[in-house]
Structure 1
């Protein structure tokens, strides 16, 4: 058995190592265009920023180790030019001297990855404009950062924000330009508004709902002209507007690709050609939640796909369960994480859903150092099956999103979250962990114990958005809701939802006569707990009431995301 693997790093290197563990007899040829067959791609921004000081730390498995430990035929600085499916050969070129030859294969695994998108902007090919894909890119950026004072990062996604953080770490004044009206577009906007505020606090300038119109040379630097008419002076520009599958080999070989360019494979990572497999960022896979086609370039799935391809080549039927989209990004001292569907994805798909927000501390509040996080849970209104989750905060975000990712993978419901038994000591969590708390709130919604409202149900905001219907009350059915603030008077005075009436929850029972039983009520507090208590009180006295999920904290985050 001769296996040729095109592209190493995550998927290809995993496939090669797994293939060797399954067969000592197989000839395994690992072809890599770059200088290193297995390096920490996700660590490149931190090398540029000086957080990772030694370049060698990025080499996960140097070529010599792969040769000695796995007896692989490793061919770096070698490019695959074409696949001859009929003759089972791949045309290879050694980049150092341009020598070309045909390499036979019995099985072929494609792991070419994805390439950074270069938008069609005048000046995008100037020497001061960089992308980040491989070690050589990181070396160029590392060298440029030594002398730069001003940088523009185009794109506010994962790599864009990681680059912004690391450029600031190097003392470089940095501006992020993002086409969307929010950073981190896969997240729902209100969840990442605190991260945007934190970036600004750390000195990063954000230009949202904007894009580069042209990049022009100016001395040793450049001028980035934006669509808004603004101009930004920069010594270096980093393009981080996304990636596209490196599918040239597959397309020219006649293999099927999806509408976004991902190589189509079955759940055994096999293309339409039974002797050719494909893994990693270059493929179109499917959502593990609803089976829909998707492309999510993440290292974890790529590693699993490489193992699955090798298993199936050696007659071990293994199937890829799909991609859930679990991801996390660090931004200075904060982290933002998500798993499963976002609200915007559910809306686009027309999938029924409900949502709740909670803002718990990462561990017991009485133990020093507790920090608040924000969590959003998306679930089916009928039955409470988990659909997605997002979390943002300074500590404990990774732990909670991992628990929720497992819960979604296992097909759990919000009722299961109530019952999860999670590790507790005051410095690590709470007796009622934030995951439990999200389950309690969501389960109460499904049971009908706690009807919820959201920002677009608030009468004034719904009218401003031109919505005749919020999530709960069609236009023309009686008077608009009374917005009832149940916090203490001092909290109310410090800031409130416009038009709200203040009756603290501790006074509510004695002041019921001030409320009109015929008028619907939206109750709220700071994070939702007192609003829930007020809702339970008022429901039992016959009032039509809903609790504003996440309270004033979510309201403020939402208004910040809307630019209000």
Structure 2
């Protein structure tokens, strides 16, 4: 059996390696138009920032490695020009010699990846404009910084690559402005969590311009759509990627609603004996079952393995994804999994939200707070999605939540998880436990939560609402929610007669715990409509 693979990065090499494990007699050939293969694309920003000195650490495998270990022939600098599925052959261009030749296959795997989206901007083809997509582009950026010594840079886009480049350019001593066309940063966060992150970054003197696009790039400046001119010796375009589907479409292979190649759960396309995997394919949400486009390295490796297995008579099936992502930004860690609030509402879920602010470990072990936003389905009480902005320990918690969502956990089950505890690693009740407790209380024990956004709307609509600040007077005097009255928790029982039982009562403290205790007292004294402010004043202020 002769297996051809088009593309030799994460998905293609994973597919070929799995195929070899299944069939030691198969002829396996990979064609790759680039010169680097099987590299860690996610590590490229850290090579640019010199956190990784040798780019060879990101490209540990070459063609000789695959030949020696797997008996797989990898031809770099070879571009597949077209696919003839009737004859089961491909035309290949040797980019070094310009020779075009044909090769035949019994099974074909397409792993053509994705390419950066190039917006129509005057000057985008200048030598000081860069798209970070492969090893050579990382080398080019590093060489430009070393040789040209830029003082000012503009990054367009606030996704993973944009923010990772922000950190590494600043660490190089470059003054950076980040430009985002949307009204919020970070596409993987809801607006409230994005605002909380933005306010945290502003305290670090990060320059962020939202609701803006670049219309012109010059050698030492860029011009925005409102005619603002920014100093800029270099521009990093982090505007996202688009799946490389032209080769597949020309061969009659179907693309899906996301404009990526449509495959089934075995990575089979609509044409017999042709499979596809990696950043060029459309996958599906394991929550909704609907098509999604999630170009992630983890997904590429999984789908590559499944394609290679089924191309060699295996039976692996793809189970869907949650779009779980995580990235580092200075000392911060930002992560998400599952549906966002916006996505859950669009899917028709009736949702319960909570914001939980807890340290990753005790203060005496230098614990730092993380903000966890969790979204649950009110009807099934299952967790739908989680977003976290914090410092240490975020990776551990997001992986726990991803596992819980994958297996359909309900909110009341989170409290009963037997998670590892010791003071250097966690608090006795982990932030995961607290998240479950808050949601369970809101759904089942009449401990209702109101988000900052909901509270602002309630006040705007002139509802009869009384906001009670349960903190000590000194904290209230420093700053408080508009129109709130200060009744410290310790004085509440003596002063609560001043709060109208027929009104909506909203309690809050700094982060939510004392606000909840105050809420309990009101409820136990016969108040019927009592809410605790989700995330307390800290999140209220941080998400404005």
For this structure pair, what is the TM-score category when the shorter chain's length is used for normalisation? Answer: over 0.9
C-alpha distance in structure 1 between counterparts of 2:346 and 2:213, whole Å: 24
C-alpha distance in structure 2 between counterparts of 1:361 and 1:60, whole Å: 38
Maintained 8 Å contact 2:411/2:440 = yes
- Whether 1:117 and 2:114 are equivalent positions in the alignment is no
- Whether 1:384 and 2:369 are equivalent positions in the alignment is no
**TM superposition outliers: structure 1 runs of 4+ over 4 Å:** 460-464
The aligned counterpart of 2:213 is: 211
The aligned counterpart of 1:236 is: 234
> Any idea what the Cα deviations from partners look like across 1:365-413, whole Å, max 9, x if unmatched?
3x23110110011001123101000111111111100000000001111
2:183 pairs with one of 181, 184, 203: 181
Map 1:141-180 → 2, pairs under 5 A: 141-146=141-146, 147-180=149-182
- Whether 1:343 and 2:341 are equivalent positions in the alignment is yes
1:416 pairs with one of 413, 416, 434: 413
Task: Please give the secondary structure, in 1, of the residue aligned with 2:100.
Answer: strand
**Deviation at residue 223 of structure 1 after TM alignment:** 2.1
Task: Please give the secondary structure, in 1, of the residue aligned with 2:365.
Answer: coil
**Deviation at residue 95 of structure 1 after TM alignment:** 1.1
- Whether 1:135 and 2:125 are equivalent positions in the alignment is no
Maintained 8 Å contact 2:258/2:292 = no
**Deviation at residue 126 of structure 1 after TM alignment:** 1.4
The aligned counterpart of 1:324 is: 322
- Whether 1:550 and 2:535 are equivalent positions in the alignment is yes
The aligned counterpart of 1:431 is: 428
**Deviation at residue 76 of structure 1 after TM alignment:** 0.6
The aligned counterpart of 2:361 is: 363
> Any idea what the Cα deviations from partners look like across 1:126-163, whole Å, max 9, x if unmatched?
12111111111111101111221111111111101111
Maintained 8 Å contact 2:467/2:483 = yes
2:522 pairs with one of 509, 515, 538: 538
> Any idea what the Cα deviations from partners look like across 1:142-193, whole Å, max 9, x if unmatched?
1111221111111111101111111111111111100112221121122133
C-alpha distance in structure 2 between counterparts of 1:456 and 1:134, whole Å: 41
**Deviation at residue 528 of structure 1 after TM alignment:** 0.8
1:442 pairs with one of 417, 439, 456: 439
C-alpha distance in structure 2 between counterparts of 1:410 and 1:105, whole Å: 39
**Deviation at residue 314 of structure 1 after TM alignment:** 2.0
- Whether 1:404 and 2:401 are equivalent positions in the alignment is yes
C-alpha distance in structure 1 between counterparts of 2:326 and 2:63, whole Å: 29
Task: Please give the secondary structure, in 1, of the residue aligned with 2:359.
Answer: coil
C-alpha distance in structure 1 between counterparts of 2:166 and 2:366, whole Å: 27
**Deviation at residue 202 of structure 1 after TM alignment:** 4.1
The aligned counterpart of 2:287 is: 289
Task: Please give the secondary structure, in 2, of the residue aligned with 1:360.
Answer: strand
**Deviation at residue 98 of structure 1 after TM alignment:** 1.3
**Deviation at residue 463 of structure 1 after TM alignment:** 5.6
Q: Which moved more, 1:391-400 or 1:342-351?
A: 342-351
Maintained 8 Å contact 2:199/2:543 = no
C-alpha distance in structure 2 between counterparts of 1:555 and 1:307, whole Å: 45
The aligned counterpart of 1:260 is: 258
**Deviation at residue 47 of structure 1 after TM alignment:** 0.6
Contiguous gaps of at least 5 residues in structure 1: 469-474, 560-564
**What is the TM-score normalised by the length of structure 1?**
0.94
Q: Which moved more, 1:397-406 or 1:258-267?
A: 258-267
C-alpha distance in structure 1 between counterparts of 2:510 and 2:203, whole Å: 23
**Deviation at residue 209 of structure 1 after TM alignment:** 1.2
Contiguous gaps of at least 5 residues in structure 2: none
Maintained 8 Å contact 1:449/1:536 = no
> Any idea what the Cα deviations from partners look like across 1:247-277, whole Å, max 9, x if unmatched?
1101111111123320000010000012110
- Whether 1:90 and 2:94 are equivalent positions in the alignment is no
Q: Which moved more, 1:46-55 or 1:207-216?
A: 207-216
The aligned counterpart of 1:494 is: 478
C-alpha distance in structure 2 between counterparts of 1:225 and 1:85, whole Å: 48
Maintained 8 Å contact 1:152/1:236 = yes
Judged with a 3 Å threshold, the aligned counterparts in structure 2 of structure 1 residues 194 and 517 are, in CA distance, closer, same or farther, namely closer
Judged with a 3 Å threshold, the aligned counterparts in structure 2 of structure 1 residues 499 and 324 are, in CA distance, closer, same or farther, namely same
The aligned counterpart of 1:191 is: 193
**Deviation at residue 51 of structure 1 after TM alignment:** 0.7
C-alpha distance in structure 1 between counterparts of 2:65 and 2:88, whole Å: 29
Maintained 8 Å contact 1:152/1:238 = yes
Maintained 8 Å contact 2:335/2:387 = yes
Q: Which moved more, 1:199-208 or 1:82-91?
A: 199-208
C-alpha distance in structure 2 between counterparts of 1:60 and 1:334, whole Å: 29
Q: Which moved more, 1:348-357 or 1:166-175?
A: 348-357
The aligned counterpart of 2:268 is: 270
C-alpha distance in structure 1 between counterparts of 2:479 and 2:468, whole Å: 14
Aligned length: 541
Maintained 8 Å contact 1:382/1:446 = no
The aligned counterpart of 2:81 is: 81
**Deviation at residue 201 of structure 1 after TM alignment:** 4.2
**What is the TM-score normalised by the length of structure 2?**
0.97
**Deviation at residue 33 of structure 1 after TM alignment:** 1.4
Maintained 8 Å contact 2:459/2:465 = no
The aligned counterpart of 1:562 is: none
Maintained 8 Å contact 1:357/1:377 = yes
- Whether 1:518 and 2:520 are equivalent positions in the alignment is no
- Whether 1:8 and 2:8 are equivalent positions in the alignment is yes
**Deviation at residue 199 of structure 1 after TM alignment:** 3.4
> Any idea what the Cα deviations from partners look like across 1:217-246, whole Å, max 9, x if unmatched?
xxxx23211012211121111111110001
Judged with a 3 Å threshold, the aligned counterparts in structure 2 of structure 1 residues 89 and 11 are, in CA distance, closer, same or farther, namely same
Task: Please give the secondary structure, in 1, of the residue aligned with 2:385.
Answer: strand
> Any idea what the Cα deviations from partners look like across 1:474-497, whole Å, max 9, x if unmatched?
x7xxx5110111111111111100
Maintained 8 Å contact 2:257/2:291 = no
**Deviation at residue 448 of structure 1 after TM alignment:** 3.0
